[in-house]
A and B are shown apart, each in its own frame.
Chain A
Amino acid sequence: MLFIAPEMVLGQGNDTPDNHRPISSIYEQLISKASEAVKYPAGESASRISLESPKITPTVWANIRFRSQPMPWGSSPLNSPIQLDYPAPFLPFRTRFFWADHAIATEVPFSNLLFAWPNKSIKKAPETIKGFSGIRLLTPISTLDKTEQSWMMFLGDKSIRGKSLDATYGSFARLLGSSQKAQADATEIAGLSEIYIERVNTDGDPEIINGWVDNEAMVGAVRFSISKNTIEVTQEVEATLFMRQDIGSMDFSPLGSSFSFNESDRKIRADIHPELHDADGALIQDGEQRRIFRPLRSPSEPIASIIPVHNLKGFGLLQRDREPEHYLDLSRPETRASVWVEPISPFGPGEIRLNEVPYEEISSENIQMVWRSQRSFRIGETVHLHYRIHWTQGEPKTELARCIATHIGRLTRQGQDKSPIPYRFRIEFDRVQNLPKNLEDMNVITNASRGKFLFQRLIQNAASDRFFIEADYLPDEKPIADVELTLKRHDTAISETWRYRISE
């Protein structure tokens, strides 16, 4: 039998909570603890002990099984079963895990005894190690699926991943990125060094996961209130963070994904799959009318795009193409979960930053999308965040025609030998029924940061529920530009704004 050390972590020292005192929530307790901790340097960072990780390969690691055994959540039928991941060098950030019952937290410390091994010769991690390389919420075995599958993960790469029952994991979210530098290219991602899962006492209540953030830049608490149904997993996120430093750049809810190629930019004889990606577009809702869809790219050189947004209603990385024949892969990329971030409290002024680096087999997580706040934060300042993350195979509702494919061709050269070669774009939109019979008052509005559009036209396809916008674009001598197309009637948008980054 296993011995689980009960450890009262939130009280100071060995104090037990006073039964006569009104019990505050774990989240409140963590905030209160953080308001003290901000006065001191960062606590023992889990990442610093990653050196102790056993040297095991992902294949071996995947075969180490978390044992089914008496665990505190076993007596809580309204909670999802939980699985803890064995420490691994490739998921280096370690998280301590606590079970919280009526606001009293008990740690489940790491022990090799918690795991079953495929092979006895494997070198095990020292018992002194603290924390795990991941925490997963599982679907109870009694539901439709015979196998116990997870639907939410907090992993040791500081990522948060969710999916609905019939979806597969794809894009991921992170909590926050920060840098002391203003206009930083890259920010340090905040990890959750402790996770507290609360007992669910009332049927239908969301599952509550609290996280503890403790690094050189900040200390604070996060509360995820998670609900799921067959089509979507929704996390309502609240965070209260105390700054230990001046912060020049802060990224809210960084998102990541993997994109190799799609219909627009597939190379000849490169891969047997028609398309290969976990997400195919970045979507941004700016106010009620402007909805930008930016197909993702795997460029030959890294590209950093800045997309100005005036009134952020949401942003996300979508796997919009749900056609199995466009992937033909056993891992079923057509079911990858899209991720959509919806601020509940406004994020304030800022911009979307989209970083795309060349896809490589080794580092396939080559897409990053963040909301970069326009302001800086001072030491001692408190940052409150309140937003929702949706994990879904769908996407936020809209009446606008959606861009469902981008086809690109090159035309023949227009002038003498060295003149730039124009591109032809054909963008496929759904919802042809939104078009009036008479197209005279419809306009394709174009916008290019460099170069110019030579012509654009709207093509209706009578036999289909789609229409095309076709546009020829002439780059100038420096072939790097952001281009946009929107179908409008008078001043009203009929379609999403299709946006693309041109680069040779």
Chain B
Amino acid sequence: MQMSVWTFSFFTLFTLGVLAKDIALNPEGSLPFSHEMLIARAAIAAQEPFIPYEDSRELIPVSPQDWFKIRFLQGYMPWNHGAHQSFIELNYPASFFPSRARAFWVDHGTVGEIVFSNDLFDGVPPDTKISSSSRPGFSGLRYLTDLRSGEESRESWLMFLGDQSYRAKIGNGPYGSYCIPLNVTLKSHEAYEKAPQFTEFYLESRETPDSPEVLYTVIDGTALTGVYRFSTRRNATGVIQDVEATLFIRRSVVTLDLIPLVTSFAFSEVDREKYSDVQPEVHDADGLLLHEKQDAWFWRPLNIPNDTRTSVFKVDTLTGLGLIQRDRDPDHYQEASSPHLAPNVWIEPIEPFGAGEIRLTEQGKNVPSTENVWIAYRPSGETLPGSSLHLHYKIHWIADNPEANGLARCIATRIGRLNEKNGKRPPEAYRFRLEYQGTSIARNDLSDETLKVTLSNGNLLGKRIIHPPHSTRWFAEVDLKLASEEEAELEVIPERNGRPFAEGWRYSFKAP
């Protein structure tokens, strides 16, 4: 069983307890709990090897359609009582959200387990019921809206699905991009292990109705173990999570990818194939936004190559990073699921992450996956066994873009074949037009405005800034000719008197 690793540790000191009035809780009584105790337990566990899940776990035959109909019975739950009610549902186990995570309730420094039971759920098809004796845990959990505060319907706003991902959404909008805690690669023959998983969830009671929802999770895997603390607030504009992670390294880690974000991107205005779909655009995010320092902001529109590609951006300091759904015009999606309301995910380090690189991986067109784009921050250097890491950052699930010192934003990218003077359109010559909105109003004298252009492949043929009349937008245009079939990395920074007055723009481009 997955819990065996803990049985030796001091966790046995507070063998699972219960609040006697709730049948759901373990009847052995409640025990003391604190963040520090959980961290200390992880420190000890890190000295022992990880024991993975047994493959013999019960297969759960419930179909997604049936699973969505299963209701968690909150009436039994400790958070369903008292003045500062929370509305939390634990997910019935499902093979498509593999997880055996256990759930605990923390109330004023004591903890008790909510032991899995079919009786906690309504609507489980009889032939798919899991035997309670196998202690299967839960496939994550969901925080629901509070109907007393004028919400129209009971729906979730924060979800931990399966054992890896979590995501939040804004108001009645849809979910979109999501986070996973970590990705690692090891030096040993297990070149790439399954990312460490959430194995335990500790839900904490709230002091006041305005208190954040606090959740501790234990993360565990071959490479490391540790504790995450999420303190989450929700308001009309979105969800903000304060995240603290303490990680203990078990095995020598070659690469450690922090805060991986994942999204789904099929096509946008820049790379829509003819007859690809009846929707003008299909994506949950359309760009990576990077803030290094001060006026160094970069926008990298997502685009899907033929073959999987990883773009790397080295940074000395990271002030912010995210996957942004910048295009908020419903006409650009025309989709009942309202992707124009999908949240941006913006990571803001509170403690510096140190020097490292941003890695953006875009899966090729041939890969049949919809969760096809991910980004992560990879600190430089190897992480040695026995070491520990402390991370502290915020995750903003919001519709707005982070404020960028008033810099103009790139709102669309257009690519066209370039007509040469002889009227030919060679396949290696292109015009890029970046549409910007903001700050730079139309001016008569543009002599102090210029585009700083960097090309990894090819020659710059021309560049210009265009202020169309009757428009709040302006265009940065770059003409170039590729020198080879290599992928070209492009960077354009609009500058006025040597200082950026707009976001920089980056792109990876290959002639078809």
Report which A residues bind B (CB closer than 8 A).
263, 265-274, 324, 328, 330, 332, 361-362, 407-410, 423-426, 428, 459, 461, 463-464, 468, 470
Contact = CB atoms under 8 A, between A and B. Distances in A.
Nearest to A459: B336
Contact of B431 (A272, A332, A424, A426): A272
A216 to B, nearest CB: 35
A266 B274 contact: yes
Interface stretch (B146-154, B225-233, B288-296, B416-424): B416-424
Q: Which of B275, B468, B470, B473 has the largest number of chain A CB atoms within 10 A?
A: B275
A364 to B, nearest CB: 13
Nearest to A424: B278
Contact of B415 (A269, A324, A362): A269
Interface in B263-312: 269, 271-280
Contact of B416 (A263, A270, A361, A424): A270
Interface in B333-361: 334, 336
Contact of A269 (B280, B417, B419): B417
* Most chain B CB inside 10 Å of its own CB: which residue of A272, A362, A408: A272
A409 B278 contact: yes
A411 to B, nearest CB: 10
A338 B435 CA distance: 28
Contacts, number: 76
Interface string B452-474: 00000000000000101111010
19 contacts: A268-B273, A269-B415, A269-B416, A271-B416, A272-B433, A272-B477, A324-B471, A330-B469, A332-B470, A407-B277, A407-B279, A407-B334, A409-B275, A409-B276, A410-B276, A423-B275, A424-B277, A426-B278, A464-B330
Nearest to B277: A409
B278 A425 contact: yes
B468 A267 contact: no
A268 B271 contact: yes
A263 B471 contact: no
B280 A407 contact: yes
Nearest to A410: B275
Nearest to A329: B468
A468 B469 CA distance: 34
A433 to B, nearest CB: 18
Interface of B: 269, 271-280, 330, 334, 336, 414-417, 419, 423, 430-433, 435, 466, 468-471, 473, 475, 477, 512
Contact of B274 (A267, A324, A332, A470): A267
Contacts of B466: 330
A382 B419 CA distance: 49
A464 B340 CA distance: 14
B435 A328 contact: yes
A273 B330 CA distance: 20
B423 A361 contact: yes
Contacts of A461: 334, 336
Nearest to B432: A272
A361 B414 CA distance: 19
A255 to B, nearest CB: 27
Given A266-B272, A324-B471, A272 B414 contact: yes
A269 B271 contact: yes
Contacts of A330: 466, 468-469
A332 B469 CA distance: 10
A269 B512 contact: yes
A474 B275 CA distance: 14
A17 to B, nearest CB: 52
A463 B278 contact: no
Nearest to A427: B278
- The 6 lowest CB-CB distance pairs between A and B, nearest first, are A426-B278, A272-B414, A272-B416, A271-B416, A272-B433, A407-B278
Contacts of A463: 330
A265 B272 CA distance: 10
Nearest to B272: A268
Nearest to B477: A272
Contacts of B432: 272
Contacts of A426: 278, 334
Contacts of A263: 280
Contacts of A410: 275-276
A285 B432 CA distance: 41
B468 A328 contact: yes
User: Which interface residue of A266, A268, A459 has the most chain B CB atoms within 10 A?
Assistant: A268
Nearest to A276: B416
A173 to B, nearest CB: 28
A324 B470 contact: yes
Determine which residue in B269, B271, B274 has the highest number of CB atoms from chain A within 10 A of its CB, and name it: B274
Given A324-B471, A328-B468, A463-B330, A470 B423 contact: no
